Amino acid sequence: MKRVYMDANATTPLLPEVMEAMRPYWMERFGNASSIHLDGQQAHAAVDRARATLAELFNCHDAEVVFNSGGTEGDNTAVFGLLRPGDHFITTAIEHSAILAAAERIASHGVETTFVAPQPSGLIDPAEIRRALRPETRLISVMLANNETGVLQPVEEIGGIAREAGVFFHIDAVQGAGKVKLDVRRFGCHLCSISAHKMYGPKGVGALFARRGTPVESLIVGGSHERRRRAGTENVPGIVGIAKAAELAMLSLEDGTIDRVVALRDRLEAGVLRLAGTGVNGALDDDRLVPRVANTTNIWFDQLEGEALVIALDLKGVAVSGGSACHSGATEPSHVLMAMGLNKTRARASLRFSLLKMAAEADVDHVLKVVPEAVEHLRAISPVAAGTLG
Ligand code: PLP
């Protein structure tokens, strides 16, 4: 059976060039980057080259790049590394759990958090961030692109507000990296997290931009790796992998890939919206199009259970994600869609399609063939359609 993977926001495959770049660093170039002999020097040089590539991706100095284990660690580092008892933290209700759960934990250490709600379009209004400021606010954290809707947040404006207020600003750019140009100087942030596996690199490796002089404390202590900002023997193959992925990501921002993906996403979206009782989450703000990353669309389907549609599509060879997540065995509607004002039924009946950058016309054709079949079938047998499920 043909399989079409439309869950790129969950993770992406390695590009072959990334695999090839990493390969020697597991075998013949296995040295520890801290060793002073030739093997160590080779590993160290590879990490240095990778740092320069990441600095180009972020538009920062090499010394401002900290390699780590991914987006969760970067997000946690911003929260736990900067906030102290008595501080106030501003973030949004639509962040990834790596920020939300960190905010929850730090509440028991005397840090209060304001969760700014999005507008129904999924956009955060910078004026709401400004309104949330207090004299004791120390950190603002806002994502660049939302993982569920793809909506791009006005980080530059929020960066201006943080600068005026003298507050640190962290951006979770995990879903933005490789999809839009990063520029930490323009964004005006002090910290910025990215993750390799969302941009065709390996899992378990990421990078944090930490502006020079930002007093962020390391979460992991031990050796003096990464200028004492993140202890632990460097994951040299992973670091080489994220750098190759970053290099290819920068190229694909300029070679027409993004326009091609937008065209495919828009055709997919228009095709699905031909079905009755459907609509896009996070597309319009007073009839104006909201900026979104190229590869994502989040669509609601009336009269069905999203989870059932995810399973039905999987059986037909299509991998997508639903608008709900499993928490302690119960299926909870997405906190992002709920914060945007959807009711539980509609949030549960929403699906995220996120295209890989190598997606083909034939993939969209396949999805446009199987989605209507699956939706019609499920609606015919659905307890939601029959009105027996709330
Ligand atoms: N932030 C966002 C917006 C994400 O989408 C994800 C992953 O889904 C993360 C953080 C966590 O990244 P990682 O999987 O590298 O820990």
* The pLDDT of residue 328: 53
CA distance 360 to 167: 44
Query: Average per-residue pLDDT in the chain?
Result: 95
| Whether pLDDT at 185 is above 50 | yes
Model pLDDT, residue 283: 80
Measuring CA to CA, how many Å separate 285 from each of 42, 94, 121, 265, 290? 52, 17, 5, 19, 6
Instruction: Locate 304 and state its tokens.
Output: 């069905």
Ligand 1 in reach of 68 Cβ (< 6 A): no
Whether ligand 1 lies within 6 angstroms of the CB of 92 is answered as no
**Distance separating alpha carbons of residues 357 and 245, to the nearest angstrom:** 13
Average pLDDT score over residue span 193-198: 98
Ligand 1 centroid from CA 198, angstroms: 8
- pLDDT tens digits, one per residue of 336-356: 999 999 999 999 999 999 999
% the chain with pLDDT above 90:
92
Q: For ligand 1, atom 5, which residue shows the shortest CA distance? A: 147
Ranges 117-131, 132-146, 342-356, 374-388: which has the least confidence: 374-388
Q: Are strands 288-289 and 284-285 parallel, antiparallel or unpaired?
A: antiparallel
pLDDT at 388 over 60: no
Centre of ligand 1 to C-alpha 72, Å, is 6
State pLDDT tens for residues 78-107: 999 999 999 999 999 999 999 999 999 999
**Residue 342 near residue 298, CB atoms below 8 Å:** no
Ligand 1 atom with the shortest distance to the CA of 204: 15
For range 166-182, the mean pLDDT: 98
Which pLDDT band holds residue 9 (cuts at 50, 70, 90)?
Answer: very high
Position 390 scores a pLDDT of 45
What long-range pairs does 128-132 form, CB within 8 A, spacing at least 24?
129/90, 129/158, 129/161, 130/161, 130/165, 132/90
Q: Would the pLDDT of 294 be above 50?
A: yes
pLDDT value, residue 330: 63
Q: Is 70 in the pocket of ligand 1 (CB under 6 A)?
A: yes
Say if residue 268's pLDDT is above 70: yes
Expressed in angstroms and rounded, the spacing between residue 194 Cα and the centre of ligand 1 is 8
State in Å: Cα 178 to ligand 1 middle. 14
Region 144-160: what's the mean pLDDT?
Answer: 98
350-354 and 296-301 beta bridge pairing: antiparallel
Mean local confidence (pLDDT), 60-68: 98
Nearest atom in ligand 1 to the alpha carbon of residue 143 is 3
Reply yes or no on whether the pLDDT at 389 is more than 60: no
For the record, the structure tokens of 352 come out as 């995220």
Q: Residue 326 catalytic?
A: yes
Give the pLDDT of residue 385.
62
**CA-based max dimension of the chain:** 72
Q: Which of 68, 198, 354 to mutate to test the pocket of ligand 1 (most atoms within 8 A of CB)?
A: 198
- pLDDT > 70: percent of the chain: 96
Q: What is the pLDDT of residue 358?
A: 97
The answer on pLDDT for 51 being more than 80 is yes
Looking at residue 387, its pLDDT comes to 59
pLDDT at 377 over 80: yes
Query: How many whole angstroms from 325 Cα to the centroid of ligand 1?
Result: 15
Condensed to tens digits (0 to 9), the pLDDT of residues 322-333 reads 876 655 556 789
* pLDDT higher at 162 or 330: 162
d(CA 86, CA 293): 37
Start-to-end C-alpha separation, the chain: 35
Determine the Cα–Cα distance for residues 68 and 306; give it in Å rounded to an integer.
Answer: 35
Of all protein residues, the one whose alpha carbon is nearest to atom 13 of ligand 1 is: 71
Cβ of 42 less than 6 Å from ligand 1 = no
Catalytic residue among 60, 189, 192, 326: 326
Query: Which tokens hold the place of 140?
Result: 């603002």
